[in-house]
Each structure stands twice: as structure tokens, then as C-alpha cells.
Chains A and B, each alone.
Chain A
Amino acid sequence: MVKINGEDCNAAGMLLSDYLKENGYKLVRIAVERNGEIVPKAMYDQTLLADGDALEVVSFVGGG
């Protein structure tokens, strides 16, 4: 199991970029934290999600 935004997901073995695409995230509006570290944008398609990972996908909305 991978914990993403507080929920258990069946995403172990998936590439981060595939997970984000499948779940409709707009890549230019997000920041991704994995196990306490920022994931550089250039690494999204090289980051393999592993069992026990904890992720937070921050999806920014307009207004300020």
C-alpha cells in the first residue's frame, strides 16, 4: 500500500507520473512530497512508488 494524501492506495509499483496522470492532476499546478522530501518535477517519470511510501500531492487552486 502507498499512502497518498492520507489515504491508502493500490499504487505500489506504479510510476509517479502515471499515477498523477491517471488521477487527473495537472502537472503545472502541483508539488509532490514523498517520505518527507520534495520530488523534483524532472523525476516524476523516474520515481517508482514503493510499498510503505507516504506521499502528499499539493494541488494549488487560484486566489491570493
Chain B
Amino acid sequence: MDKNTNIPSKEEIEAALELRHTKAVQEKIRHAAVAVCGLGGLGSHIAISLARCGIGRLHLIDFDRVDLTNLNRQQYGIEQLGRPKPEALREELLAFHPYLDIQTDFVKLSEENLSELLAEETYICEAFDVPEQKAMITNYVLEHMPEKYLVGASGMAGYGNSNAIRTRKILSHYYLCGDGVSEKNEHQGLMAPRVMLCAAHQANMILELIIRDET
């Protein structure tokens, strides 16, 4: 079958989103900016969810390239193996919303570049893999960028026990998703369903904050 080359206009896509989400909700989503830090199992699915909602602006940040061992749970394809994750993910998102405003940065986040890289976005997703990195960004953002909203994750390895994955409010501007304990180790790995559950919690919390709009 031929590819559909009849691409809808930006206005048509916005109208379809309003029809599904209501005009008032879509108005808020359209003006929100979100940074996704880490584009693995969590970040790639968070980005897909928010992009499907027609988020105003997405900032995709990761230093990694797509690897074969990622494909059990991350939103990438065979043809993207070896590509930097930010631009590979950007491609995936533009396939269903060609007018999204997406900034990509193929870089490792550290205490030295966080302030600069996260300056523009109100909402920040911590979607890292390594616990030291999770702690680093969480401490930095809460300490130095108190006006931001941070939604992080800890504990989503293995399978089953869906209801142990939850969202907790830790501070007025910090929410943590996951079961808090299930770590990736030699006995249990990261698998698509549970990682996607946790990613959905994060995206859903971000969406709630955007629509509640207490900024």
C-alpha cells in the first residue's frame, strides 16, 4: 500500500486534539513545556504520551545511542540502531504530530550544565537509569531550581505486581513514581509492561500538574 502523503494541517491536528481533550484542557497543554531527562524505557514512553497529548514544547535529553538491548522496552526501531536517542525519538514523535516543537540535546546532564539546559521548561521528568544520576538531578533541581516541578521514578524492574507502582508527593514541587524498591540487578531486569506503567504514572502526573496549573 502507498504511504499516505496527505498530511493534515497544524490547525486540523489541533482541532482533533481539542475534540478529544476539550478546548480548555488543550489550551493548557498547548502552552506547556516539558523536559525529559533520559530517553530509555521511561523517557521514551513519557515523551510519546506527552506528544500524543499535543504538548506545546518537548525538550529531549540523552547522551546514549539506540542499542539492540534497548528494544525490549524502549520506543525505538531496528532501523534506528546506533542513532543518538534524542533525534531518533524526535522522528518517532513527528510521525504522528509533524508540527510539535521539539528541542533535542545529545549530551550527558551534570551539575555543570543542568541550570543552562533546563532553563526554559517548567516541568522536568527525571527518567534516568543510574541511581547516582537520579539522586544528582533530584538534589540539584530541588535545591537550585525551586520554581520547577520535578517528576521522578525509582523502582520498576521485574514483572507483575502492577499495583505496587504508584505516584507519591514528596514535596510541593516533587513527585516520585515507582514501587521504590524493585531495582535492576542480576536477578531481575527491566521489562516493557512495568517500565511502561511507571512511565505512564510520570506522564500522567505531569499532565495533571499542567492542567491544574498552579505556576
Contact = CB atoms under 8 A, between A and B. Distances in A.
Interface of A: 28-31, 33, 36-38, 40-41, 56, 58-64
A37 B127 CA distance: 22
Contacts of A60: 131-132, 134-135, 138, 154
Given A31-B139, A38-B139, A62 B131 contact: yes
Contact of B42 (A40, A61, A64): A64
B183 A62 contact: yes
B135 A28 contact: yes
Contact of A64 (B40, B132, B136, B180): B40
A33 B131 contact: no
Given A29-B135, A31-B139, A38-B143, A61 B171 contact: no
B129 interface: yes
Closest 8 CB pairs of A and B: A61-B183, A63-B184, A38-B142, A60-B131, A64-B129, A60-B134, A29-B131, A64-B42
B76 interface: no
A29 B139 CA distance: 10
A61 B143 contact: no
Contacts of B153: 64
B135 A61 contact: no
Q: Which of A28, A30, A59, A61 has the most CB of B within 10 A?
A: A61
26 contacts: A28-B135, A29-B132, A31-B139, A31-B142, A33-B171, A33-B174, A36-B171, A37-B171, A38-B142, A38-B143, A40-B143, A58-B170, A60-B131, A60-B132, A60-B135, A60-B154, A61-B180, A61-B182, A61-B183, A63-B183, A64-B40, A64-B42, A64-B129, A64-B153, A64-B156, A64-B190
Given A63-B182, A64-B41, A64-B43, A56 B130 contact: no
B195 to A, nearest CB: 8
B149 to A, nearest CB: 14
Contacts of A37: 171
A40 B171 CA distance: 14
